[in-house]
Amino acid sequence: MPRLLVCGAINWDTTLFVDKLPTPGEEVKVNRAITVPGGKGANTAVAAARILGKNDVGMIGMVGSDELGERQRTILTEEGVDVSCLSRHKDLLSGQAYIVVDSKGENMILTDRAANKAMTPAAINAENIATAIERSRMMIIIDPPLPVASELAIHASRGGKVVVLSPATLVGHGFSALESHLRKADYLILNEHEATSLAAVANGSTACEKLSRMLSGTRIIVTLGGAGCVTCHEGKNRTIPSLDFSLFGLKVASTVGAGDTFGGAFASFKLIGLADLEAVFLANVAATLKITKENTRGSPTYEEIRKYADSDVLRTTYDKFKVT
């Protein structure tokens, strides 16, 4: 059975590449369009599987009984993700997302969750899922319906599993509605927008510190886009600098899926046995490599991450901030 379980959305992405993102009422020309598999949960599971290897990562989620749902199952299996806990809804279509990416790699996303939103807490108690949770060591919960996220967190924490929570759009419920759910997480991963919204402050680093105080005992990680990321735990705050991959001749193609790559990579390196700081550093390398690829699931392999992380430039960067 997989050591790592991931629960979250599985979507099919239509990505439109434009020179600039439209403003309300503005029409812009599409330079190119691609369709690729995506969804926060599936992206995260694939990112982890490319590090941990085949069948060490399992996917808990729901697709429709349509052709896209079957394609998603096949693609995840080919990536080495165990799909024995992946359900199919007989009446709903599989989730889809429509993404616009500008020349700088920035994006806007519109999502039709479809079958993803039909997951219920009752499904978590199904024998196959309950058994998978019992036999796992770690779980990533990334933006499923709130009742499902809460039920999973309860099951995982009761079983002594490490819980990595990435609430994403769930932050819209507000801190008070999420508090009991958040307290069950060992690690809380947020992007800057999510962190500032949840903490009701204007700055990502400040939000990390505030959430660390509000959720004593939980390790908070806030990604800051081009400014790197920050970790906060029990009054100890560390900033991991951004990585300049132009030094290797690489360019930004799309930031879509970078956060999913970060979460999957971080959990994988923790499962391997690395300390928090090195796991965050390597997850930052993985996410930076992802944004050089157009595909939503353009996450790197373990070998690719190590190739760059062990280069003189990045190893020097890591050694410097490790001792500060």
- Return the number of other C-beta atoms located less than 10 Å from residue 278's C-beta: 14
CB 167 within 8 Å of CB 9: no
pLDDT, tens digit, 9 for 90 and up, residues 132-157: 999 999 999 998 999 999 999 988 98
- pTM for this prediction: 0.93
pLDDT, tens digit, 9 for 90 and up, residues 162-183: 999 999 989 999 999 999 989 9
Apex CA 256: angle with CA 254 and CA 261, to 5°? 110
Domains of the chain: 4-21+30-323 (3.40.1190.20)
Of 159-163, 176-180, 201-205, 314-318, the range with the lowest mean pLDDT is: 314-318
